[in-house]
């Protein structure tokens, strides 16, 4: 029997992911519930983390890199006094400390974790090491040294401080590991630490409070879920929008530079629409746009 291909549905379904389910499982459930031909997500969340998981459907998968590159906000709690193998509460404790920082000490240390920083990913992460995932090697007991990577941290602020915990909020760019922040902050303060709770409150244009609860995906009818799907262009709000002329839209849809109205910086990434909707993502070239991703809507 031939496999059913699914519907041509394009847009974004924002899920408020619960703890205990991984990002791939959320995408699979959304794709099944909507009978979508194609789906993907814009930024993995750890299984124990909650919050925004933006699921792209159909042609919206072409905009995933735009949302992945956008700033994201995390609300998280660090437990002091122990470092774990996974840098969160699910891992085995590998080191302990009786030292505890004051709120003032935590505040003072945060400045060293803002701006352009270098961050070593957790051993249990999806980073590839010689073609294999770091978490697979870590589970096998392989010792490895992961290379530090640059990360832009827009802000890192202390929200609450307890005797053994600190609740923080971080806004950062692509590729940030909150678990690494907790680990490195604990080392910096001499008290050790790991993430106890983690929630992504927003990602680019998408807010957790607007997301569909994961358990509703099973329970609701398909037409209700269809009504929750946001337009493809919702993921493009960080880019300038230009209008294609009728002739320009035809050329762009054929993969050629096309004429547009409106302006941007030369070489700037923009998105283009016409009277029927989104046409492409491309580079502005003085009255023309060279398409990089053409939408087949």
Whose tokens are 């398909």? That residue is: 222
- Would you say 52 and 3 are in contact if contact means Cβ atoms under 8 Å apart? no
**d(C-alpha 243, C-alpha 279), whole Å:** 9
Active site residue 215: no
CA dihedral 54→40→255→235, nearest 10 degrees, is: 0
Distance of alpha carbon 278 from alpha carbon 231, whole angstroms:
10
From the list 16, 46, 87, 274, the catalytic residue is 46
DSSP 106-148: HHHHHGGGSEEEEEPPPSSSS-EETTEEHHHHHHTT----PPP
Give which of 83, 96, 73 is closest to 153, Cα–Cα: 73
- Residues annotated as catalytic are 46
């Amino acid at each position: 029997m031939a496999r059913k291909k699914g519907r041509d549905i394009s847009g974004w379904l924002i899920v408020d992911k619960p703890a205990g389910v991984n990002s791939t499982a959320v995408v699979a459930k959304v794709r099944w519930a909507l009978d979508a031909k194609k789906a993907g997500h814009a930024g993995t969340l750890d299984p124990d983390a909650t919050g925004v998981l933006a699921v792209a459907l159909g042609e919206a998968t072409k905009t995933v890199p735009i949302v992945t590159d956008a700033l994201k906000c995390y609300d998280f709690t660090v437990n002091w006094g122990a470092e774990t193998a996974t840098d969160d509460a699910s891992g085995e404790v590998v080191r302990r400390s009786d030292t505890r920082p004051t709120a003032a000490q935590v505040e003072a240390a945060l400045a060293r974790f803002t701006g352009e920083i270098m961050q070593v990913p957790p051993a249990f992460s999806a980073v590839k090491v010689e073609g294999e995932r770091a978490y697979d090697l870590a589970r096998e007991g392989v010792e490895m040294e992961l290379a530090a990577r640059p990360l832009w941290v827009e802000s890192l602020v202390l929200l609450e401080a307890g005797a053994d915990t600190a609740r923080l909020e971080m806004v950062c760019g692509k590729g940030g590991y909150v678990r690494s922040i907790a680990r490195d902050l604990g080392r910096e303060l001499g008290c050790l630490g790991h993430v106890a709770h983690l929630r992504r409150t927003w990602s680019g244009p998408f807010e957790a409070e607007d997301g569909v609860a994961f358990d509703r995906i099973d329970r609701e009818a398909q037409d209700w879920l269809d009504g929750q799907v946001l337009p493809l262009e919702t993921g493009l709000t960080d880019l300038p929008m230009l209008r294609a002329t009728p002739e320009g839209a035809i050329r762009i849809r054929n993969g050629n530079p096309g004429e547009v109205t409106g302006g941007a910086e030369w070489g700037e990434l923009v998105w283009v629409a016409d009277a029927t909707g989104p046409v492409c993502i491309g580079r502005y070239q003085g009255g023309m746009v060279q398409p990089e991703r053409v939408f087949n809507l």
